Amino acid sequence: MMEPIARKPVVQNIADSLARTALAVLLLAVTGYLNCARTQGSSVNFRHLEHLTESIPFAGDTIDVVHVYANYPDYRWHEAADSGMEGIACVDDAARAAVMYLRHYQLTHENRSLSRARRLLGFILNMQSDDGEFYNFILSDHSVNRTGKTSFKSFGWWASRGVWSLGLGYTVFRDADRLFAEQLNTAFRRSLPHVRALLVNYGKSESVAGYRVPRWLPYESGGDVTSELTLGLVEFYASDPDTSMRSAIEKLTAGITMMQDGTVGQYPYGLHRSWETMWHMWGNSQTQVLATAGKILSSASMVASAEREAEGFYSRLLVDGFMKEFNVARPSSIVRYEQIAYAVRPMAVGLIRLYEATGKRVYLVMAGLAASWLVGNNVLHEPVYDASTGRCYDGIRDSVTINRNSGAESTIEALYTLVEVEHYPEAKHYLTFTKVSTQKTSRYHTALFRDSTGEEATVGVDLASGSLVVLENEASMEFQKAFQR
């Protein structure tokens, strides 16, 4: 970290006074930027993310990296070493931060967010190899970690997030900086042979414990990583459509939908499996990409698949509470913890995208309730995101403990969630609601949510009709009365 700047002796003259005034104005302007969203009624605060961010010389350029870990109580930077020597910063976090800043720019036209995204994309560009694959980590001396098992050159998780950021970056910078957009275009297209290599196996599948598993996705059946890779393809296609790109999107999303099982009333309730028969909540962005792609490609089947998960499974997560993972072939295998912000974002933002694809307001209500986990609607009834500092804690460790470290992943995913949810007042309204009770009968499986003013909403499923239930205020109150008779 940078050493503190030595204080300058006070010199009593007009020039120095003017200089100090100018500096004060500049500091106020910077502080105002970091806190402007909160002062305008938003809880989005970039201060902690700015603390995690460092500008460094890298590959002949000045770029930004985001330090991986910052631990309680002092939140100094810490290197990652969970899987052997990893490093100080990675493509994974730079890409998710770039996506968040690009979305913030698209929604607010805040130029500083565009500048931040550009410097992060500079890092991502320089971590891509000539063959289109990506390294992930840099070490403390700013050299690339080329051999670590979470950093070796490949086309997996970190490459998929890199492609997502390049695809969205190209769309945004086409209008903002055409020359830089062309660099992103070149890098994005450099990765496409690896997408085509995956699709050589298109149509091949196997049965695992009675569930169909496609073999043309990353890691052979990684629906989770496919969702984030495909988000990059969709964002690029939105501004530069072509037949081959559309075909790739359709084939990848076909693999995602093959891994969907059940209905609103039938186990496992329309969820999209993450890998083979496993489901985990983190990074499972299938509804987000299906709703996004379905709208852009005018595909009713993609949107319907997203709705099926939202209505059948997301509704149950809101009623029964979030979890970490389980094996759908063994329903009793549920693991509740650790719960993290990276699990909340795919659900909340997926519901936002579903609203945008369908115009159905109920998905905004559900999005706000999903995101309310960040501000206290969770098993501990404590905020996980602190709007005064911009920190998001690294998760709920168990039924009594918050992990109060605050690293890049959790901070960025929380900010991304809030940027999206707060864009819609109907969703933002439900951020402060908490679950107060559940109602389960042979017909209904619902929960009641209420805010401090007494407003309420009921969310869940009607098993008799196999349909989603979302009721607000008077309608919710009437519904609740029926259970008390």
Q: At what angle do helices 178-190 and 157-176 cross, to 10 degrees?
A: 150
* Residue 461, pLDDT score: 98
C-alpha to C-alpha distance for 294 and 229, rounded to whole angstroms: 16
Under 8 Å between Cβ of 213 and 276: yes
pLDDT, residue 122, reads 98
Secondary structure of residue 226 in the 3-state scheme: helix
What 8-state DSSP symbol labels residue 144?
B
Closest CA to 91 of 99, 83, 101: 99
Spatial neighbors of 285 by CB under 8 A, at least 6 apart, are: 224, 227, 228, 231, 346, 349, 350
**Residue 481 burial (CB count, 10 A):** 9
What's the confidence (pLDDT) of residue 483?
79
Can you give the pTM of this predicted structure?
Answer: 0.91
* Residue 438, beta-bridge partner list: 447
What the block records as the tokens of 66 is 């985001």
Kindly compute the dihedral angle of the four CA atoms of residues 75, 79, 84, 85, in this order, to the nearest 10 degrees. -170
Q: How far lies 107's CA from each of 344, 428, 458, in Å? A: 20, 15, 30
* The pLDDT of residue 484: 74
Q: What is the residue-wise DSSP string for 371-411?
A: HGGGGT-STT-S-SEETTTTEE-SEEEETTEEE----HHHH
Selection from 143, 118, 117 nearest residue 57 by Cα: 143
Q: What is the pLDDT of residue 40?
A: 59
Token pair of 301 as six digits: 């089947």
* Rounded Cα gap, residues 133 and 187, in angstroms: 10
The confidence score (pLDDT) of residue 17 equals 38
Q: How many CA atoms lie within 13 A of 122 on its CB side?
A: 18
CA 145 vs. chain centroid, Å, equals 25
**Residue 482 has what pLDDT?**
86
d(CA 74, CA 438): 39
The pLDDT of residue 2 is 32
Positions of the chain with pLDDT lower than 50, given as ranges: 1-39
Q: Which residues of 326-342 are buried (b: 16+ CB within 10 A; e: fewer)?
A: bbbeeeeeeeebebbbb
